[in-house]
Amino acid sequence: MFKKILIANRGEIACRVIRACRDMNIETVAVYSSADRDALHVRMADEAYFIGAPPSAESYLRGEKIIEAVKKSGAEAIHPGYGFLSENADFVRQAAKENIIFIGPAPEAMEAMGGKISARKIAIEADVPIVPGTTEPLETYEEAQRIGLEIGYPIMLKATAGGGGKGMRFVESAEDLKSAYETARGEALASFNNDEVYIEKAVVRPRHIEIQIFADQHGNYVYLGERECSIQRRHQKVVEECPSPINSSELRAKMGESAIKVARAVDYVGAGTIEFLVSDETREFYFLEMNTRLQVEHPVTELVTGIDLVREQIRVAFGEKLSFTQKDIVWQTHAIECRVYAEDPENNFLPSPGKITRLRVPQGNGVRDDGGVYEGAEVSIYYDPMISKLAVYGKTREEAIDRLRRALREYEVGGIKTTIPFFQEIVEDEEFIAGNLDTNFIARFNERRKKKETDETTRDLAIIAAALAQNKKQPAAPKTTEQTASRWTSAGRAAAHRNRM
């Protein structure tokens, strides 16, 4: 096995990988920018190398600096985590030139899945369903018009180089096409320096369900089940679960086999994720794209299957066979993850950097917190503000939700705002509890929240008005004031305040 691995990342994922290495008796090397001198991943690693200034482009994205650190430290392999250089084929080639093993797929597989059109073509070849639409970039607006009519509205315009919803436009009808076509191209050019867009038929109220796959260098492929990731804000996942509340073993097997077909088509090695849109009505699924890295939400798969995905990545990169086969994998529990961000949910999720003055992390049965900070640490403005991932599991979805509620109550973060109060509202939401999830969940949830707030204000005003009216008649009536006070501190509000410190 490897003796030493360099982790080319920061925050919770760097800590997660360091832990897996330590479990395998592998030495760990961290890299850090000047903003991260005191970061948790630096403290946890056996040794650490400074790689530059705070902006990612001057540190965590500098391949040559990272390769220099690998050579100085004598590490044999690089774990890229997610983001940063994790899907950068040129970096993988640079590392290979120096005989450094990249813990991830070959650069060719990354490139094949890097473009949406290229990925769609591969899926067609592999006999995996894709959303109906084009497999070539649109040449002109007139072509877009013609194809729009052909496949039928509503449609989606998507940037070939797209990601994160940039360069993507939902087009309700032909009248809206012209302006959508222009803004999609403009946005694609600005974001990716590539203005190619193509058309897909819009799937109405789809679920976003992805399949975790794994492959070794000996041609073994397995799927590790699905993750339901429909709860997203501004194209960022916020809550993920395994299994999907749909929880159909038939659908899982079908999607799993399709995912493996896609992975095989590019000779994929390591951990990968195939994203699908699933129609809530018909349960038909369509390939969207493949992520050629470990994903943020991998813990829910680990909690349900009992497989350590990072350990397996390291074993596979070393050349070992997968430590399990398809029939060894069972899905008997239910796991849910919340991404805890240093953001203010009461102020439009504005980042909330600063010193963490108090930190109490939930513990106990069925709870896992993958954190990247400690009490006294600074949350910097330079990087993604996710400070931890709270994941829980239970025998059933209900048990998992109850545990999540309990764990969220235990969580205390001082000095900065976090998204914990937002999750406390989600776990009480009827639609969430019912498992009615699709990509419009957050929009509907926010409307329910707004309505609830208005209703509460109306009720509070009515109570005040009634109290005032009563007081006018009977100024000294103690019963009235007591009633008013107890109404003001209803249980839900008290709980929200307790955790908002």
Give Cα separations from 385 to 71, 232, 350 (angstroms). Answer: 31, 16, 10
- Rule CB under 6 A: is residue 187 a binding residue for ligand MV4? no
Contact 268, 215 (CB under 8 A): yes
Residue 63 vs 206, nearer CB to ligand MV4:
206
321: which residues sit within 8 A by CB, 6+ positions away?
216, 218, 220
Residue 343 Cβ, how far from ligand MV4 at the closest point, in Å?
18
Is 235 one of the binding residues for ligand MV4 (CB under 6 A)? yes
Asked if 180 is part of the footprint of ligand MV4 (rule: CB under 6 A), the reply reads: no
- Which span (66-74, 211-219, 227-235, 390-398) binds ligand MV4, by CB under 6 A? 227-235
Q: Which residues contact 393 (CB under 8 A, 6 or more apart)?
A: 300, 303, 304, 333, 334, 335, 336, 366, 368, 400, 403
Which region among 28-36, 195-203, 322-330, 427-435 touches ligand MV4 (by CB under 6 A)? 195-203
Active-site residue, selected from the candidate residues 169, 293, 368, 397: 293
Alpha carbon distance 167, 160 (integer Å): 9
- When the beta carbons of 86 and 333 are compared against ligand MV4, the nearer one is 86
Tell me if residue 227 is catalytic.
Answer: no
Q: Is 165 a residue that touches ligand MV4 (CB under 6 A)?
A: yes
SS3 labels along 394-454: ECCHHHHHHHHHHHHHHCEEECCCCCHHHHHHHCCCHHHHHCCCCCCHHHHHHHHHHHHHH
Q: Which is nearer to ligand MV4, 276 or 411 (CB)?
A: 276
**3-class secondary structure, 44:** helix
Among residues 129, 132, 85, which one has the least CA distance to residue 104? 85
Query: Does 103 interact with ligand MV4 (rule: CB under 6 A)?
Result: no
Dihedral angle over CA of 170, 171, 177, 181, nearest 10? 10
End-to-end CA distance of the chain: 46
Whole-number Å distance between alpha carbons of 297 and 241? 8
Supply 266's token pair.
Answer: 């590019």
When the beta carbons of 79 and 169 are compared against ligand MV4, the nearer one is 169
Q: For ligand MV4, which is the closer residue by CB, 65 or 201?
A: 201
Applying the rule CB under 6 A, the residues between 280 and 339 that interact with ligand MV4 are 288
Considering only 14, 44, 202, 356, the residue that binds ligand MV4 (CB under 6 A) is 202
Q: What is the DSSP letter of 344?
A: E
CA 256 to chain centre: 20
Q: Which of 398, 368, 391 has its CA nearest to residue 245? A: 398
Tokens 């995905």 belong to: 309
Compute the least distance from the CB of residue 331 to ligand MV4, in Å.
22
- Residue 277 as a binder of ligand MV4 (CB under 6 A): the answer is yes
Please report how close the Cβ of residue 166 comes to ligand MV4 at its closest, in angstroms.
Answer: 9
The stretch among 194-202, 382-390, 452-460, 489-497 that binds ligand MV4 (CB under 6 A) is 194-202
Binding of ligand MV4 by 156 (CB under 6 A): yes
- Nearer to ligand MV4 by Cβ, of 79 and 208: the residue is 208
DSSP string across 90-148: HHHHHHHHTTPEESS--HHHHHHHHSHHHHHHHHHHTT--B-SB-SS----HHHHHHHH
Q: Under the criterion CB under 6 A, does residue 418 sit at the interface with ligand MV4?
A: no
Residue among 233 and 403 whose Cβ is closer to ligand MV4: 233
CB 8, min distance to ligand MV4, A: 25
- Distance in angstroms (rounded) separating the CA atoms of residues 349 and 81: 25
Is 206 an interacting residue with respect to ligand MV4 (CB under 6 A)?
yes
CB 321 within 8 A of CB 383: no
Binders of ligand MV4 among residues 427 to 456 (CB under 6 A) are 439
Q: State the nearest-atom distance from the C-beta of 159 to ligand MV4, in Å.
A: 10
Exactly one of 116, 120, 185, 208 binds ligand MV4 (CB under 6 A); that residue is 208
Question: Of the ranges 228-236, 260-268, 290-298, 330-338, which one interacts with ligand MV4 (CB under 6 A)?
Answer: 228-236
The Cα–Cα gap between 156 and 183 comes to 13
Nearer to ligand MV4 by C-beta: 30 or 229?
A: 229
Exactly one of 232, 279, 436, 484 binds ligand MV4 (CB under 6 A); that residue is: 232
> Residue by residue, what is the 3-state secondary structure of 229-298?
EEEEECCEEEEEEECCCCCCHHHHHHHHHHHHHHHHHCCCCEEEEEEEEEECCCCCEEEEEEECCCCCCH
Nearest to residue 235, comparing CAs of 208, 202, 272, 273?
208
Q: How far is the CB of 47 from ligand MV4 (least distance, A)?
A: 38
Number of residues engaging ligand MV4 in binding (CB under 6 A): 16
- Give yes or no for residue 241 binding ligand MV4 (CB under 6 A): no
Residues 113-152 that bind ligand MV4 (CB under 6 A): 131
Task: Report the residue number, 208 or 261, with the smaller CB distance to ligand MV4.
Answer: 208
Query: Which residues, numbered 34-93, are part of the site for ligand MV4 (CB under 6 A)?
Result: none
Binding-site member from 76, 87, 200, 228 for ligand MV4 (CB under 6 A): 200
Those residues whose C-beta lies under 8 Å from the C-beta of residue 268, and which sit 6 or more positions away, are 105, 109, 213, 215, 221, 292
Closer CB to ligand MV4, 35 or 151, in the complex: 151
Among 203, 211, 266, 310, binds ligand MV4 (CB under 6 A): 203
Contact residues for ligand MV4, defined by CB under 6 A: 131, 156, 165, 168, 200-203, 206, 208, 230, 232, 235, 277, 288, 439
Which residues are catalytically annotated? 293
